[in-house]
Structure 1
Amino acid sequence: MHGDWQIRPARPDEAALLPAVEEASGTLFRTIPDLAWIADDGVMPAEAHLAAIAAGTCWVAVEGEAVAGFLSARMAGEDGNGADAGRAVLHVWEMSVAPAHQGRGLGRALLEHAAAYAAAQAMAAVTLTTFRDVAWNAPFYARTGFAILPDVALTPRLRDVLAAEVAHGLPAARRCAMRRPVSLVS
Protein backbone atom coordinates (compact mmCIF):
# COMPACT_ATOMS: atom_id res chain seq x y z
CA MET A 1 0.00 0.00 0.00
CA HIS A 2 1.32 3.45 -0.92
CA GLY A 3 -0.67 6.20 0.78
CA ASP A 4 -4.20 5.81 -0.51
CA TRP A 5 -3.36 3.52 -3.47
CA GLN A 6 -1.88 0.09 -4.04
CA ILE A 7 -0.35 -1.97 -6.86
CA ARG A 8 -1.88 -5.38 -7.54
CA PRO A 9 -2.38 -7.83 -10.42
CA ALA A 10 -5.10 -6.71 -12.80
CA ARG A 11 -8.28 -8.77 -12.86
CA PRO A 12 -9.88 -9.95 -16.12
CA ASP A 13 -12.94 -7.76 -15.49
CA GLU A 14 -10.63 -4.70 -15.43
CA ALA A 15 -9.21 -5.25 -18.93
CA ALA A 16 -12.06 -3.24 -20.45
CA LEU A 17 -11.21 -0.26 -18.20
CA LEU A 18 -7.55 0.02 -19.20
CA PRO A 19 -7.99 1.50 -22.72
CA ALA A 20 -9.88 4.46 -21.21
CA VAL A 21 -7.03 5.09 -18.75
CA GLU A 22 -4.54 5.03 -21.64
CA GLU A 23 -6.73 7.34 -23.73
CA ALA A 24 -7.05 9.86 -20.89
CA SER A 25 -3.32 9.69 -20.18
CA GLY A 26 -2.54 10.21 -23.87
CA THR A 27 -4.23 13.61 -23.94
CA LEU A 28 -0.97 15.02 -22.58
CA PHE A 29 0.47 14.57 -26.10
CA ARG A 30 -1.75 17.48 -27.19
CA THR A 31 0.84 19.73 -25.51
CA ILE A 32 3.44 18.72 -28.15
CA PRO A 33 2.29 20.10 -31.53
CA ASP A 34 3.98 17.55 -33.82
CA LEU A 35 2.87 14.62 -31.61
CA ALA A 36 -0.65 15.88 -30.79
CA TRP A 37 -2.15 13.31 -33.18
CA ILE A 38 -1.13 10.57 -30.73
CA ALA A 39 -3.84 11.77 -28.33
CA ASP A 40 -6.43 10.63 -30.87
CA ASP A 41 -4.61 7.52 -32.08
CA GLY A 42 -5.71 4.04 -31.10
CA VAL A 43 -4.88 2.52 -27.74
CA MET A 44 -3.93 -0.98 -26.66
CA PRO A 45 -7.13 -3.04 -26.93
CA ALA A 46 -8.73 -4.81 -23.99
CA GLU A 47 -7.92 -8.17 -25.61
CA ALA A 48 -4.18 -7.45 -25.42
CA HIS A 49 -4.56 -6.52 -21.75
CA LEU A 50 -6.47 -9.76 -21.17
CA ALA A 51 -3.56 -11.72 -22.61
CA ALA A 52 -1.16 -9.94 -20.24
CA ILE A 53 -3.53 -10.51 -17.32
CA ALA A 54 -3.67 -14.22 -18.15
CA ALA A 55 0.14 -14.30 -18.29
CA GLY A 56 0.37 -12.55 -14.90
CA THR A 57 2.13 -9.50 -16.39
CA CYS A 58 -0.47 -6.76 -16.05
CA TRP A 59 -0.70 -4.71 -12.88
CA VAL A 60 -2.98 -1.89 -11.81
CA ALA A 61 -2.56 0.97 -9.41
CA VAL A 62 -5.87 1.28 -7.61
CA GLU A 63 -7.26 3.89 -5.30
CA GLY A 64 -10.12 2.23 -3.49
CA GLU A 65 -11.80 0.34 -6.33
CA ALA A 66 -10.85 2.87 -9.03
CA VAL A 67 -8.07 2.00 -11.50
CA ALA A 68 -5.69 4.97 -11.44
CA GLY A 69 -3.02 3.46 -13.71
CA PHE A 70 -1.66 0.25 -15.16
CA LEU A 71 1.35 -1.47 -16.68
CA SER A 72 0.85 -4.19 -19.29
CA ALA A 73 3.90 -6.24 -20.22
CA ARG A 74 4.80 -9.59 -21.73
CA MET A 75 7.71 -11.93 -21.32
CA ALA A 76 9.95 -12.01 -24.39
CA GLY A 77 12.90 -14.14 -25.32
CA GLU A 78 16.08 -12.11 -25.41
CA ASP A 79 18.60 -12.83 -28.07
CA GLY A 80 21.37 -10.71 -26.66
CA ASN A 81 24.85 -11.91 -25.90
CA GLY A 82 27.09 -11.85 -22.88
CA ALA A 83 25.90 -12.77 -19.40
CA ASP A 84 22.22 -12.34 -20.31
CA ALA A 85 22.28 -14.53 -23.44
CA GLY A 86 19.27 -16.77 -23.55
CA ARG A 87 17.52 -15.19 -20.55
CA ALA A 88 14.03 -13.80 -20.99
CA VAL A 89 13.10 -10.17 -20.45
CA LEU A 90 9.87 -8.46 -19.48
CA HIS A 91 8.81 -6.02 -22.21
CA VAL A 92 6.52 -3.15 -21.20
CA TRP A 93 3.96 -2.62 -23.94
CA GLU A 94 2.02 0.12 -22.19
CA MET A 95 2.07 2.05 -18.96
CA SER A 96 -0.47 4.77 -18.31
CA VAL A 97 -1.61 6.78 -15.31
CA ALA A 98 -4.90 8.69 -15.38
CA PRO A 99 -4.32 12.48 -15.42
CA ALA A 100 -5.91 13.01 -12.00
CA HIS A 101 -3.37 10.60 -10.49
CA GLN A 102 -0.19 11.69 -12.27
CA GLY A 103 2.75 13.07 -10.31
CA ARG A 104 2.09 10.90 -7.24
CA GLY A 105 4.59 8.11 -7.87
CA LEU A 106 2.20 5.57 -9.39
CA GLY A 107 4.22 5.19 -12.61
CA ARG A 108 7.44 4.64 -10.67
CA ALA A 109 5.71 2.13 -8.38
CA LEU A 110 4.32 0.21 -11.36
CA LEU A 111 7.81 0.04 -12.90
CA GLU A 112 9.34 -1.12 -9.61
CA HIS A 113 6.66 -3.81 -9.34
CA ALA A 114 7.40 -5.00 -12.89
CA ALA A 115 11.16 -5.05 -12.19
CA ALA A 116 10.61 -7.06 -9.00
CA TYR A 117 8.46 -9.53 -10.94
CA ALA A 118 11.13 -9.87 -13.64
CA ALA A 119 13.79 -10.49 -11.00
CA ALA A 120 11.65 -13.10 -9.23
CA GLN A 121 11.18 -14.88 -12.57
CA ALA A 122 14.98 -14.88 -13.18
CA MET A 123 14.62 -12.58 -16.18
CA ALA A 124 17.57 -10.49 -17.30
CA ALA A 125 15.89 -7.12 -17.67
CA VAL A 126 12.84 -4.99 -18.34
CA THR A 127 12.69 -3.37 -21.78
CA LEU A 128 10.44 -0.81 -23.45
CA THR A 129 10.33 1.60 -26.37
CA THR A 130 9.52 5.27 -25.95
CA PHE A 131 10.18 8.84 -27.07
CA ARG A 132 13.71 10.10 -26.44
CA ASP A 133 12.75 13.71 -25.83
CA VAL A 134 9.31 13.68 -24.18
CA ALA A 135 9.64 14.53 -20.48
CA TRP A 136 7.35 11.76 -19.26
CA ASN A 137 9.03 9.19 -21.52
CA ALA A 138 12.81 8.50 -21.76
CA PRO A 139 13.87 11.14 -19.19
CA PHE A 140 11.36 9.70 -16.69
CA TYR A 141 12.39 6.10 -17.39
CA ALA A 142 16.07 7.05 -17.03
CA ARG A 143 15.32 8.28 -13.50
CA THR A 144 13.92 4.81 -12.71
CA GLY A 145 17.01 2.89 -13.83
CA PHE A 146 16.45 2.45 -17.57
CA ALA A 147 19.17 3.31 -20.09
CA ILE A 148 18.75 4.09 -23.78
CA LEU A 149 20.23 1.34 -25.90
CA PRO A 150 22.52 2.49 -28.69
CA ASP A 151 21.62 1.12 -32.13
CA VAL A 152 24.48 -1.40 -32.00
CA ALA A 153 23.03 -2.89 -28.79
CA LEU A 154 19.50 -3.37 -30.12
CA THR A 155 18.36 -6.97 -30.32
CA PRO A 156 16.45 -8.10 -33.40
CA ARG A 157 13.27 -8.13 -31.28
CA LEU A 158 13.69 -4.49 -30.26
CA ARG A 159 14.59 -3.50 -33.82
CA ASP A 160 11.34 -5.12 -34.96
CA VAL A 161 9.30 -3.30 -32.30
CA LEU A 162 10.81 0.06 -33.29
CA ALA A 163 10.29 -0.66 -37.01
CA ALA A 164 6.61 -1.47 -36.37
CA GLU A 165 6.21 1.81 -34.48
CA VAL A 166 7.77 3.77 -37.32
CA ALA A 167 5.51 1.97 -39.82
CA HIS A 168 2.58 3.13 -37.67
CA GLY A 169 3.73 6.74 -38.07
CA LEU A 170 5.92 7.43 -35.05
CA PRO A 171 9.03 9.48 -35.94
CA ALA A 172 12.07 7.17 -36.04
CA ALA A 173 14.54 9.84 -34.91
CA ARG A 174 12.55 10.45 -31.72
CA ARG A 175 12.05 6.79 -30.74
CA CYS A 176 14.39 4.63 -28.68
CA ALA A 177 14.55 1.34 -26.86
CA MET A 178 15.46 1.29 -23.20
CA ARG A 179 16.59 -1.49 -20.88
CA ARG A 180 16.77 -1.87 -17.12
CA PRO A 181 18.75 -4.86 -15.86
CA VAL A 182 17.28 -6.65 -12.87
CA SER A 183 19.02 -8.49 -10.07
CA LEU A 184 18.04 -12.07 -9.48
CA VAL A 185 16.02 -12.73 -6.36
CA SER A 186 17.55 -15.49 -4.28
Structure 2
Amino acid sequence: MTDTLRVAIRPARESDLAIAEEIEAEADALFIELFGATDWPPPASASERTALPGFVLVAEGVETPHDVVGFAHVLEIDGQAHLEQLSVLPQHGRRGYGRMLVAAAKAEAQRRGYRSITLRTYRDVAWNGPFYATCGFHESVPSTPFLHRLVEVESRLDLNRYGPRVQMTAVA
Protein backbone atom coordinates (compact mmCIF):
# COMPACT_ATOMS: atom_id res chain seq x y z
CA MET A 1 0.00 0.00 0.00
CA THR A 2 1.28 3.44 -0.85
CA ASP A 3 1.69 6.01 1.89
CA THR A 4 -0.58 8.52 0.16
CA LEU A 5 -3.86 7.81 -1.55
CA ARG A 6 -4.73 10.22 -4.35
CA VAL A 7 -8.12 11.75 -3.65
CA ALA A 8 -10.65 13.92 -5.37
CA ILE A 9 -12.93 16.26 -3.45
CA ARG A 10 -16.53 16.19 -4.63
CA PRO A 11 -20.04 16.94 -3.38
CA ALA A 12 -21.46 14.09 -1.33
CA ARG A 13 -24.10 11.83 -2.79
CA GLU A 14 -26.94 10.54 -0.64
CA SER A 15 -25.18 7.16 -0.46
CA ASP A 16 -22.09 8.86 1.04
CA LEU A 17 -23.93 10.11 4.12
CA ALA A 18 -24.07 6.71 5.86
CA ILE A 19 -20.34 6.37 5.16
CA ALA A 20 -19.81 9.83 6.67
CA GLU A 21 -21.48 8.63 9.86
CA GLU A 22 -19.04 5.69 10.02
CA ILE A 23 -16.06 7.95 9.32
CA GLU A 24 -17.10 10.37 12.06
CA ALA A 25 -17.49 7.48 14.53
CA GLU A 26 -13.98 6.21 13.73
CA ALA A 27 -12.50 9.70 13.97
CA ASP A 28 -14.35 10.34 17.25
CA ALA A 29 -12.65 7.25 18.68
CA LEU A 30 -9.44 9.35 18.76
CA PHE A 31 -11.16 11.87 21.06
CA ILE A 32 -12.66 9.14 23.20
CA GLU A 33 -9.22 7.61 23.67
CA LEU A 34 -7.48 10.96 24.24
CA PHE A 35 -10.02 12.16 26.79
CA GLY A 36 -10.96 8.81 28.32
CA ALA A 37 -14.55 9.79 27.52
CA THR A 38 -17.31 7.36 28.40
CA ASP A 39 -20.29 9.39 27.15
CA TRP A 40 -19.14 10.96 23.87
CA PRO A 41 -22.03 12.24 21.70
CA PRO A 42 -22.83 9.95 18.76
CA PRO A 43 -22.13 11.09 15.20
CA ALA A 44 -24.90 12.67 13.17
CA SER A 45 -26.95 10.14 11.24
CA ALA A 46 -27.41 10.37 7.49
CA SER A 47 -30.98 11.60 7.95
CA GLU A 48 -29.89 14.24 10.49
CA ARG A 49 -27.22 15.51 8.10
CA THR A 50 -29.68 15.61 5.19
CA ALA A 51 -32.20 17.60 7.23
CA LEU A 52 -29.74 20.43 7.90
CA PRO A 53 -29.20 23.32 5.46
CA GLY A 54 -25.76 23.34 3.91
CA PHE A 55 -23.47 21.02 1.98
CA VAL A 56 -21.24 18.00 2.45
CA LEU A 57 -18.02 17.39 0.54
CA VAL A 58 -16.18 14.06 0.49
CA ALA A 59 -12.61 13.01 -0.22
CA GLU A 60 -12.78 9.99 -2.49
CA GLY A 61 -9.92 7.80 -3.70
CA VAL A 62 -8.98 8.36 -7.34
CA GLU A 63 -7.46 4.89 -7.78
CA THR A 64 -10.28 3.34 -5.76
CA PRO A 65 -13.50 5.20 -6.63
CA HIS A 66 -16.21 5.03 -4.00
CA ASP A 67 -13.61 4.70 -1.23
CA VAL A 68 -14.54 7.80 0.76
CA VAL A 69 -11.82 8.56 3.31
CA GLY A 70 -13.13 11.82 4.78
CA PHE A 71 -15.77 14.51 4.63
CA ALA A 72 -16.55 18.12 5.53
CA HIS A 73 -20.07 19.18 6.50
CA VAL A 74 -20.80 22.90 6.26
CA LEU A 75 -24.02 24.36 7.65
CA GLU A 76 -25.64 27.46 6.20
CA ILE A 77 -27.60 29.10 9.02
CA ASP A 78 -28.23 32.73 10.02
CA GLY A 79 -26.41 33.94 6.92
CA GLN A 80 -23.25 32.17 8.08
CA ALA A 81 -21.23 29.25 6.69
CA HIS A 82 -20.17 27.01 9.58
CA LEU A 83 -17.87 24.00 9.31
CA GLU A 84 -19.92 21.68 11.49
CA GLN A 85 -17.80 18.58 11.03
CA LEU A 86 -14.51 17.56 9.45
CA SER A 87 -13.58 13.90 9.75
CA VAL A 88 -10.97 11.70 8.09
CA LEU A 89 -10.56 7.99 8.69
CA PRO A 90 -7.72 7.66 11.22
CA GLN A 91 -5.78 5.25 8.99
CA HIS A 92 -5.70 8.02 6.34
CA GLY A 93 -4.84 10.82 8.77
CA ARG A 94 -1.85 13.14 8.51
CA ARG A 95 -1.73 12.90 4.69
CA GLY A 96 -3.32 16.26 3.89
CA TYR A 97 -6.89 15.09 3.22
CA GLY A 98 -8.36 17.15 6.05
CA ARG A 99 -6.51 20.22 4.77
CA MET A 100 -7.84 19.54 1.25
CA LEU A 101 -11.37 19.25 2.59
CA VAL A 102 -11.04 22.50 4.57
CA ALA A 103 -9.76 24.33 1.48
CA ALA A 104 -12.60 22.94 -0.62
CA ALA A 105 -15.18 23.86 2.04
CA LYS A 106 -13.84 27.42 2.19
CA ALA A 107 -13.91 27.68 -1.61
CA GLU A 108 -17.48 26.36 -1.82
CA ALA A 109 -18.61 28.73 0.93
CA GLN A 110 -17.06 31.61 -1.02
CA ARG A 111 -18.72 30.40 -4.24
CA ARG A 112 -22.05 30.48 -2.38
CA GLY A 113 -21.46 34.11 -1.41
CA TYR A 114 -20.06 33.83 2.12
CA ARG A 115 -17.14 36.03 3.10
CA SER A 116 -16.16 33.89 6.08
CA ILE A 117 -16.60 30.45 7.58
CA THR A 118 -16.70 29.56 11.28
CA LEU A 119 -16.17 26.42 13.31
CA ARG A 120 -16.03 25.34 16.95
CA THR A 121 -13.24 23.15 18.21
CA TYR A 122 -10.90 22.18 21.02
CA ARG A 123 -8.30 24.92 21.29
CA ASP A 124 -5.43 22.71 22.49
CA VAL A 125 -5.95 19.40 20.67
CA ALA A 126 -3.26 19.21 17.97
CA TRP A 127 -5.59 18.07 15.19
CA ASN A 128 -8.13 20.76 16.17
CA GLY A 129 -7.26 24.36 17.10
CA PRO A 130 -3.60 24.28 16.04
CA PHE A 131 -4.48 22.48 12.78
CA TYR A 132 -7.24 24.95 11.89
CA ALA A 133 -4.88 27.86 12.63
CA THR A 134 -2.58 26.52 9.90
CA CYS A 135 -5.61 26.55 7.57
CA GLY A 136 -6.15 30.29 8.12
CA PHE A 137 -8.61 30.20 11.03
CA HIS A 138 -8.26 32.49 14.04
CA GLU A 139 -10.13 32.60 17.35
CA SER A 140 -13.28 34.70 17.21
CA VAL A 141 -16.43 35.50 19.18
CA PRO A 142 -19.90 34.09 18.38
CA SER A 143 -21.94 36.78 16.65
CA THR A 144 -25.21 35.14 15.51
CA PRO A 145 -28.04 33.39 17.35
CA PHE A 146 -26.97 30.07 15.75
CA LEU A 147 -23.37 30.43 16.96
CA HIS A 148 -24.57 31.35 20.47
CA ARG A 149 -26.79 28.23 20.44
CA LEU A 150 -23.75 26.09 19.59
CA VAL A 151 -22.00 27.39 22.71
CA GLU A 152 -25.10 26.51 24.75
CA VAL A 153 -25.22 22.99 23.30
CA GLU A 154 -21.53 22.46 24.07
CA SER A 155 -22.16 23.67 27.61
CA ARG A 156 -25.13 21.33 28.02
CA LEU A 157 -22.98 18.41 26.78
CA ASP A 158 -20.20 19.57 29.14
CA LEU A 159 -17.62 19.35 26.33
CA ASN A 160 -15.39 21.88 28.12
CA ARG A 161 -14.52 19.26 30.73
CA TYR A 162 -12.07 17.88 28.14
CA GLY A 163 -10.45 21.24 27.46
CA PRO A 164 -11.23 24.74 26.25
CA ARG A 165 -13.61 25.02 23.30
CA VAL A 166 -13.26 28.00 20.96
CA GLN A 167 -14.86 29.44 17.89
CA MET A 168 -12.59 30.07 14.94
CA THR A 169 -13.21 32.04 11.75
CA ALA A 170 -11.46 32.14 8.39
CA VAL A 171 -11.95 34.12 5.22
CA ALA A 172 -13.92 31.98 2.79
Q: Mark the CA change 1:41 to 1:56 in structure 2 (over 3 Å): closer, same or farther.
A: closer
Listed as ranges, the matches of 1:113-152 within 5 Å are 113-149=104-140
Q: Mark the CA change 1:131 to 1:56 in structure 2 (over 3 Å): closer, same or farther.
A: closer
Q: How many residues align?
A: 164
Is 88-97 or 23-32 further displaced after alignment? 23-32
* Structure 1: distance between partners of 2:37 and 2:166: 19
User: Retained in 2: the 8 A contact 1:9–1:56?
Assistant: no
Shift of 1:40: 4.7
1:102 aligned residue: 93
* Structure 2: distance between partners of 1:138 and 1:56: 23
1:68 aligned residue: 69
Gaps of 5+ in 1: 78-87
Pairing 1:163–2:152 present: yes
* Structure 2: distance between partners of 1:147 and 1:76: 20
Shift of 1:126: 0.8
Q: Deviations over 1:36-86 (max 9, x none)?
A: 31785311111122235xx56101001121110001111122xxxxxxxxx
| TM-score (normalizing by structure 1) | 0.80
Q: Mark the CA change 1:175 to 1:75 in structure 2 (over 3 Å): closer, same or farther.
A: same
User: Retained in 2: the 8 A contact 1:74–1:91?
Assistant: yes
* Structure 2: distance between partners of 1:89 and 1:164: 18
User: Retained in 2: the 8 A contact 1:44–1:94?
Assistant: no
What amino acid is aligned across from residue 113 of structure 2 in structure 1?
A
What amino acid is aligned across from residue 138 of structure 1 in structure 2?
G
Structure richer in helix, relative to its length: 1
1:49 aligned residue: 49
What amino acid is aligned across from residue 76 of structure 1 in structure 2?
I
1:85 aligned residue: none
Q: Deviations over 1:94-128 (max 9, x none)?
A: 11000111111111111111111111112121111
1:174 aligned residue: 164
Q: List 4+ stretches of structure 1 deviating above 6 A.
A: none
SS of structure 2 residue aligned to 1:60: strand
Q: Which of 9, 18, 27 is the aligned partner of 1:7? A: 9
1:83 aligned residue: none
